[in-house]
Amino acid sequence: MYGPIVSVPVFGFGNLVLVSEPGLVKQVLTENPQVLLGGEGVGPAAAIYGHDSMFVQEEPEHLRRATVAHLTAARRRAALLRSDHRVRHAMSDGRLPTDRPFQLLYAARAMTLDVIVRVIFGVNDPGDIQRLGHPFEELLDLGLTEETTMRYALRRFGTLRW
């Protein structure tokens, strides 16, 4: 027996943590999430999250790590929003016709693919945008076919098994 807490690596799932003592199971599942335990009290959580995780640190270290994590995430979101606004501004250069009707689905899809390629891949060259966006266009075409839509609907109702 290894003890009341065992961490076992399981291929395909990651680490599986087994807690065999009922008191520890109750502690892990019912502890107040606002209480930052330290020392002996973090045993079950440390087995689950790891000993260096921010969730098992003493309060000052936990707060420092949480602040850094929140600031980093906020900076990332702000950078994405700035680049998204720049891309939208660049996209409003008269690509959409104003003098005739057009299919909004294809126009919106093309602009969305441009934004995805520009923001995710950081590409601004029109040739590179077309090259990187082409596989996404093929996936969208495949996903929007009538056959795919019908197969999805039938599968949801349990009438199609493959």
pLDDT digits (tens, 9 = 90+) for 43-82: 556 666 666 776 667 667 777 777 777 777 667 666 666 6
Q: Which residue has the higher pLDDT, 1 or 149?
A: 149
pTM tops 0.75: no
Q: What is the pLDDT of residue 102?
A: 74
- Determine the average pLDDT of the residues in 30-53: 61
pLDDT tens digits along 84-93: 555 565 555 5
Query: Are the C-beta atoms of residues 129 and 117 closer than 8 Å to each other?
Result: yes
Based on the fold, state whether residues 51 and 103 are members of the same structural domain.
Answer: no
- Whether residue 36 is predicted with pLDDT greater than 50 in this model: the reply is no
Residue 5, H or E segment:
strand 5-10
Based on the fold, state whether residues 104 and 45 are members of the same structural domain.
Answer: no
Based on the fold, state whether residues 105 and 162 are members of the same structural domain.
Answer: yes
**73 belongs to a structural domain:** no
Domain count, the chain: 2
**155 belongs to a structural domain:** yes
* Domain around 114: 98-162
**41 belongs to a structural domain:** yes
**81 belongs to a structural domain:** no
Q: What is the pLDDT of residue 108?
A: 72
Task: Using alpha carbons, select from 110, 108, 118 the residue that is nearest to residue 134.
Answer: 110
pLDDT tens digits along 85-131: 555 655 555 566 667 787 777 777 777 777 777 777 777 788 888 88
Token couple for 48: 């689950």
**117 belongs to a structural domain:** yes
- Read off the amino acid at residue 92: S
